[in-house]
Amino acid sequence: MDKSLKIYVAFLVLLLSVIVIIDINAPKPINWTPTYSLSDKNPLGMYVFNQEVGSLLKDRKIEKINITPYEYLEPLYDYDSLVNTYEAKGSFLIINGFSVLDSESITELFYFADHGNDVFISMKSFPYQLLDSLKIEVGTDFEYTDNSKLWMANPALGETKYDLKEGIGNTYFSKIDTLNTTVLGYQGNKDKNTNFIKVPYKNGNFYLHSQPAAFTNFHLLKDNHHEYASKILSYLPKENVYWYTKDIYGNSISQSPLRFIFSQPALKSAWYLFLLGFVVFIIFNTKRKQRIVPIIKPLENTTIDFTKTIGNLYFQEGDHDNIMDKKIIYFLDKIRQDYLLDTNILDDQFIKKLHLKTGKKIEDIQKVVYLINHHRKGNFESVESDLIELNSIIEKITN
């Protein structure tokens, strides 16, 4: 890693560290998402209600139910013709923002109420099957503003109007069976709309409330808002309370395409292992890669091989005179090509010029000129020793 890259990496690490420190020390924004989760301490969670439910429902035994109403209640029904009732007696409590009840559970709640029990449901949106069976319709209060209030219908519970705003919805019960339904609470400003009713069903009752935000952390801790929640719950008989908590533990069904993988421990571990391996692969492959450079053999100089072959042929035939002629021709041609000297007359002037241009010893140049001139005059017998001597002196000058 070169110096500049190290500087960039160090700067990036420093920048990320500063961002993390600033983010940690910065004030966290308030999360107003209505989760109705028992573990959520944000304003519209139900952590406080979970902690204080014993004081809000005094003299009642509370049992939390983390399975659907059908799964819980159906096994408790005694089908013996002499009994024909539920082993569970009391009130079934459901508080959530929207309907989380399946069709079988709604049917089971009707059976439960039919056998002399009560069902309390506080929601902004009720299941159609429930409303249709109880002959109830809901509407939207478009005039519900920040000046609107919530209050109880029974004067015995006081005439205080509670200023609940945060998380409050604008739905209300627009149509009810007035002969059988009892209005227990209102909401609004100039016009009052029904938001809390009691609907008898055979031997039991349904209590329907359209403002579940009244049971969230913010309103249970703000001013006197907890009084409103306490008055609402006061209608439940002092019997056992079966509190449905399955979908308010913060463990609602994930909509992620990977939810099945995350639901299986082995697949979840394999997924994280794959992600880790992929990150390691990316890190180690960020370095520049180059294809392997093939080794290219240099082109063979066939001219040299040919010359060697011819030279060996002459040498084996003992034609030393012919070889010396060709060596001299080659030498003088090289002098002309490399140093641009005239080689017609090999005299002292030629020796001096060649010495200046090549930088070779003047004695060697004088000797090679001497050997060439004597060979041309025929003073050599052209024996092998003469050829070797001429070749040696030529190589000293040309190399």
Rg of the chain over Cα atoms, rounded to whole angstroms, equals 53
How far apart are the C-alpha atoms of 225 and 239, rounded to whole Å?
25
User: Are β-strands 77-78 and 85-86 bridged in parallel, bridged antiparallel, or unpaired?
Assistant: antiparallel
Residue 243: what pLDDT? 95
Which structure tokens are listed for 264?
């299986």
Cα angle value 175/110/104 (rounded, 5°): 110
- pLDDT under 70: residue ranges of the chain: 1-5, 143-146, 249-256, 285-290, 301-319, 379-383
Residue count (the chain): 399
On whether the CB atoms of residues 145 and 193 are closer than 8 A, the answer is: no
Coil, strand, or helix at residue 310? helix
Which structure tokens are listed for 54?
């014993």
- Model pTM? 0.61
Residue 34 has φ and ψ, to the nearest 5°, of -75, 100
Residue 193 has φ and ψ, to the nearest 5°, of -120, 145
Residue 154: what pLDDT? 94
What are 7-27's pLDDT values in tens digits? 777 777 788 788 778 777 777
Residues with Cβ within 8 Å of residue 336, at least 6 apart in sequence: 342, 343
Task: Specify the DSSP element, H or E, that contains 220.
Answer: helix 217-221
Q: In which residue are the tokens 């403002």 written?
A: 211
On whether the CB atoms of residues 97 and 123 are closer than 8 A, the answer is: yes
Task: Specify the DSSP element, H or E, that contains 52.
Answer: helix 47-56
Sign of the alpha-carbon dihedral angle for 345, 346, 348, 351: positive
Q: In which residue are the tokens 């560290």 written?
A: 17
On whether the CB atoms of residues 236 and 91 are closer than 8 A, the answer is: yes
In 3D space, the residue among 48, 4, 1, 30 whose CA is nearest the CA of residue 222 turns out to be 48
Residue 303: what pLDDT? 64
Q: What's the distance, CA 229 to chain centroid?
A: 42
Residue 252: what pLDDT? 47
Residue 314: what pLDDT? 63
Which structure tokens are listed for 268?
């979840």
On whether the CB atoms of residues 252 and 66 are closer than 8 A, the answer is: no
Q: Quick one: CATH architecture of 47-248?
A: 3-Layer(aba) Sandwich (3.40)
Residues with Cβ within 8 Å of residue 351, at least 6 apart in sequence: 362, 365, 366, 369
Residue 132: what pLDDT? 94
What are 106-140's pLDDT values in tens digits? 999 999 999 999 999 999 999 999 999 999 999 98
Residue 235: what pLDDT? 96
Which structure tokens are listed for 304?
């040299």
The backbone region for 254, taken as left when phi is positive above 0, alpha when psi lies in -120 to 50, beta otherwise, is: beta
On whether the CB atoms of residues 172 and 126 are closer than 8 A, the answer is: no
Residues with Cβ within 8 Å of residue 74, at least 6 apart in sequence: 108
On whether the CB atoms of residues 119 and 205 are closer than 8 A, the answer is: yes
Residue 395: what pLDDT? 83
